[in-house]
């Protein structure tokens, strides 16, 4: 093995067969986690990994290196709470909705309303209730929100799987929308979106089990031992 084999991969867009060709965000995560080289490693929640891949690919070459310090924070981040998917989806849409194109606003507003209804059902809230951050995002695009409310109120044939279809498509739409938006700082906005998605996943990780420390040796007292004479006397009396 030479020094080239030990070189740290440089973040770049797309898939790579090995570190010599570079690495995307999640490929580098698999490398650091000691997993087989992949952009779909088991060390990160599936939806969060999708957000990271999208942000990696939509960030400019000049801005992508800023993402590297975030990579260790996604390793081992695999919460299994059912809130994670709709909450991460909501966070991504909340960042994107005010700045993306009108066409994307309609798509994202629908996804946000559907996700909020999933959360309301899990939390025992009224069907159409909204979390404050989602309400603020929807209020910023009244036309799209009005259309989305009407659309989601109509009966539809079949119900798409939110976790497997709606959520991944929505976060991709949000990330791509920010990268193409008429804003001066798309890279910074994408960085903030990914940071917020990571923080949301962290919030749903189970609390670590407290370490049980053994008692100091000096504090351990031997169990009382019966006097052997007493034991023999009791044995004779019993006979």
80: pLDDT strictly greater than 60:
yes
Which two structure tokens, joined as six digits, stand for 101?
A: 């194109």
DSSP classification of residue 124:
T
pLDDT band at 1 (very low <50, low <70, confident <90, very high): very low
The pLDDT score that the predictor gives to residue 165 is: 95
186: pLDDT strictly greater than 70:
yes
The pLDDT score that the predictor gives to residue 83 is: 98
The pLDDT score that the predictor gives to residue 8 is: 54
58: Cβ–Cβ under 8 A, 6 or more apart, which residues?
175, 176, 178, 179, 186, 190
Closest CA to 74 of 55, 54, 40, 49: 49
Over its C-alpha atoms, the chain yields an Rg (Å, rounded) of 27
* pTM of the predicted protein model: 0.81
Average pLDDT value for residue range 194-215: 83
Helix (H, G, I), strand (E, B) or coil at 216: coil
224: pLDDT strictly greater than 80:
no
The pLDDT score that the predictor gives to residue 209 is: 65
Q: Which residue has the tokens 């006097």?
A: 227
> Could you give the C-alpha distances from 123 to 83, 131, 190, in angstroms and in order?
9, 11, 29
pLDDT band at 10 (very low <50, low <70, confident <90, very high): confident
The pLDDT score that the predictor gives to residue 236 is: 45
5: pLDDT strictly greater than 60:
no
Average pLDDT value for residue range 28-38: 92
- Per domain, the residue ranges of the chain are 19-203
CA gap 196, 217 in Å, rounded: 46
Which two structure tokens, joined as six digits, stand for 176?
A: 């791509």
What average pLDDT does the chain have?
86
Reported as a single tens digit per residue, the pLDDT across 89-137 is 999 999 999 999 999 999 999 999 999 999 999 999 999 999 999 999 9
Per the model's pLDDT, the better-predicted residue between 11 and 224 turns out to be: 11
217: Cβ–Cβ under 8 A, 6 or more apart, which residues?
none
DSSP classification of residue 10:
P
Helix (H, G, I), strand (E, B) or coil at 77: strand
Average pLDDT value for residue range 175-182: 98
Average pLDDT value for residue range 200-224: 68
In the chain, helix, strand, coil percent, each to 5? 60, 0, 40
């Amino acid at each position: 093995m030479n020094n080239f084999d030990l070189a740290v991969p440089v973040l770049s867009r797309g898939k790579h067969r090995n570190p010599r060709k570079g690495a995307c965000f999640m490929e580098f995560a698999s490398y650091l986690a000691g997993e087989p080289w992949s952009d779909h490693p088991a060390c990160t929640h599936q939806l969060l990994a999708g957000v990271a891949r999208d942000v990696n690919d939509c960030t400019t070459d000049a801005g992508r290196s800023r993402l590297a310090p975030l990579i260790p924070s996604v390793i081992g981040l695999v919460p299994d709470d059912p809130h994670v998917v709709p909450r991460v989806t909501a966070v991504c849409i909340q960042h994107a909705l005010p700045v993306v194109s009108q066409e994307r606003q309609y798509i994202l507003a629908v996804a946000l309303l559907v996700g909020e209804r999933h959360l309301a059902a899990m939390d025992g809230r009224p069907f159409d209730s909204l979390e404050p951050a989602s309400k603020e995002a929807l209020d910023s695009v009244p036309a799209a929100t009005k259309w989305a409310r009407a659309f989601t109120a109509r009966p539809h044939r079949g119900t798409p799987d939110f976790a497997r279809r709606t959520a991944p498509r929505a976060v991709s739409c949000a990330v791509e929308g920010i990268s193409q938006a008429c804003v001066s700082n798309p890279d910074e906005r994408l960085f903030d979106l990914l940071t917020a998605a990571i923080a949301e996943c962290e919030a749903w990780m189970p609390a670590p089990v407290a370490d049980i420390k053994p008692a100091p040796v000096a504090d351990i007292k031997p169990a009382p031992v019966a006097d052997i004479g007493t034991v023999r006397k009791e044995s004779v009396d019993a006979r």
